[in-house]
Structure 1
């Protein structure tokens, strides 16, 4: 009876109410009826949440399955009626993605460029609408097929740099051509460069800051300035093996070192590395990805249990300054969020 009374209200009043509900309750609410399932998927709801300043950070993780050679998209969700329990849940409405694609977050959407399936590289461009959890496969394909490229989003354009043509050999030489996608006109432009570089299938990384793309490919570091189409070497950037880090806070890049079990920082302006004070101690870590939200550092990392089982853990790290003004790291919480015969690939943070 109560639910019938609620649905009899004007739709804008219902949206006003639901927009104030924490997003972690939306999956349960969508099961109540077809009306609420449609409401949870409506763009008007998320537009109202934005106007009410009720937007929330959302962590998305791509996990490679050894069973079918695809990447699948998961989201980190806090369990209902829990203050500290989290888990990675699959998004069943989304299809599997090609492995080793390049991911870029633009607002509440994720663009996925290229990748491979069964060792064949792809030139596909896929758009994921995160609030609706829907995929759009009808965007124009990239000028050429690549996997494991590096990418960044600057001034309404996505820049895709380099990449591998095939999975084998793992280290393959290819051109550092730049493919540019205009998200407004939905058109591609290709910029050919004379230099070649050896790309690693698994460990290429990039971050965007000050309208430039900073990236590391195998043992090389570069800074790409799209406004001048200029590629500059950065020998300091390659000093450490920062893999899969999307974590830049106030011009400083952070990444968790699985070898040293410490958090490192790189000042993108001064071009210098530092060890962040504080013992994090994420034991058993074999592979990690580092992202940021709300000026906090989040590390998703693997723990190998046996040949057929991997656990994924999530740790939230708070950054503070000590009396000398030095940045210190403090571990807030760390929990197991997933297990399976899989491999950690990408992490992205969106806000909607």
Structure 2
């Protein structure tokens, strides 16, 4: 039996029904509404314009939002938009060869997704964050050809790979990888079959030298023009006297390609079609051959056995230590080091194969370089110094159950 309230025997007081307040729609996203948020419902052309203004380092994190995001981030239209907006940037890629299956796997350097900090992280803020904030993220690139550092070059956003020997026999193959679509395709073959030749780029053309079984002036070098997709022989009058079928080191500095063979060397300037012999064992050759190197803004850099980064001064004909480099790890003789030009900065990858198969980690250090006038010059005021600043360093990839070999590190403009 329900109870009803009365007042002094009168009719019961009737309560007016309260007006229900309309709830304001919540701005918070819920799992059921995440697919219809304003961001994901924007037109594709507007999303492409937004994505093009964001660094590619953040693309892997963005691709986790939805399938449509992943599709747009992988579309050629995005990179066309980046180019039109002047937002192209240098992107770093790494190729590893896995054992025992001998598969070639590609990775790209990306930014770690930022973690939202809570009140519990206050104490951590006081500690210096030593992590690099970067990761090597795998890229799905099927059927990669066999690659090696000296035979891989970039022209714009395209990577060209000179084919490795097939069953220990010379090869004439050339492969092209467009990172806009992540697909390898066969390119016109070289005119001469070669065994581990050296490839270098000058003014957008790819010069391939060495690796031929019989050396003569008409087969030691050839050049590929990506615009016309054609090969052409480059005559080398010094080939039979100075050149070798095996090129130990090659680099492009100030428009000249330097080739070193152990005891001798040659330099070629394509603009003038001129050759120069390097007869005597020079400081350039003796201290360059056995170490990792790269060229940054026409500066030839290397890591010396003493864990010191050096650069070669062609005027003084001497290797000179970089200044102001602090905070770098000790590499040691057992550590394998690979250097690369990363948009005008020096990227240094390193790992220690003696650490065992499990828990092997690849570290990366990115170093910015600056030219300065020397304070200890010989008085002519033209001597320079190279100062280096470590921007970040740390592990970028850990492979707990795999053994691999570092094949190449290379940057492409996208």
1:95 to 128, 137, 143: 143
Match status 1:135 vs 2:215:
no
Partner of 1:47: 80
Tell me, in whole angstroms, the C-alpha distance in 1 between the residues paired with 2:44 and 2:111: 28
After TM superposition, give the deviation of residue 124 of structure 1 in Å.
Answer: 1.4
Q: Give structure 2 stretches of 5+ with no counterpart.
A: 1-32, 116-130, 376-383
Distance 1:157 1:25 in 2: 31
Contact 2:194–2:211, Cα closer than 8 Å, also in 1: yes
**3-state DSSP of counterpart to 2:306:** coil
Secondary structure at the aligned position of 1:47 is classed as helix
Indicate conservation of the 8 Å contact 1:103/1:151, yes or no: yes
- Give the TM-score normalised by the residue count of structure 1: 0.82
Is 2:295 the counterpart of 1:247? yes
CA distance in 1, matches of 2:220, 2:162: 14
Q: 1:269 to 1:53 in 2, by over 3 A?
A: farther
CA–CA distance in structure 2, aligned partners of residues 71 and 221 of structure 1: 32
Cα distance, 1:45 vs structure 2: 1.5
- Greater C-alpha radius of gyration: 2
Judged with a 3 Å threshold, the aligned counterparts in structure 2 of structure 1 residues 322 and 270 are, in CA distance, closer, same or farther, namely: closer
TM-score by length of 2: 0.71
Number of matched pairs: 339
Does residue 312 in structure 1 map to residue 362 in structure 2? yes
Q: Of the candidates 125, 133, 139, which is equivalent to residue 174 of structure 2?
A: 125
Shift of 1:9: 4.1
1:197 maps onto 2:244 in alignment: yes
Aligned counterpart in structure 2 of residue 256 of structure 1, from 278, 297, 303: 303
Q: Matches of 2:58 and 2:224 in 1, distance apart?
A: 35
Whether the aligned pair in 2 keeps the contact of 1:252 and 1:268 (CA below 8 Å) is: no
Pairwise CA distance, 1:206: 2.5
1:3–1:24 CA distance, 2 compared to 1 (3 A): farther
Find the residue that maps to 2:77 and give its secondary structure.
Answer: helix
Residues 1:246 and 1:132: Cα distance change in structure 2 (over 3 Å):
farther
3-state SS of paired residue (1:143): coil
Shift in CA distance, 94/231, structure 1 to aligned 2, threshold 3 Å: farther
Q: Which residue of 2 aligns with 1:169?
A: none
Distance 1:124 1:263 in 2: 35
Match of 1:152 in 2: 200
Q: Please state if 1:177 is matched with 2:228.
A: no
Q: Deviations over 1:169-209 (max 9, x none)?
A: xxxx8567112111111111123544241516xxx332223
Which segment is superposed worse, 295-304 or 63-72? 63-72
With 178-187 and 278-287 compared, the bigger mean Cα shift is at 278-287
RMSD: 3.1
Distance 1:313 1:75, change over 3 A: same
Structure (1 or 2) with the greater strand fraction: 1
CA contact 1:313–1:335 (8 Å) conserved in 2: yes
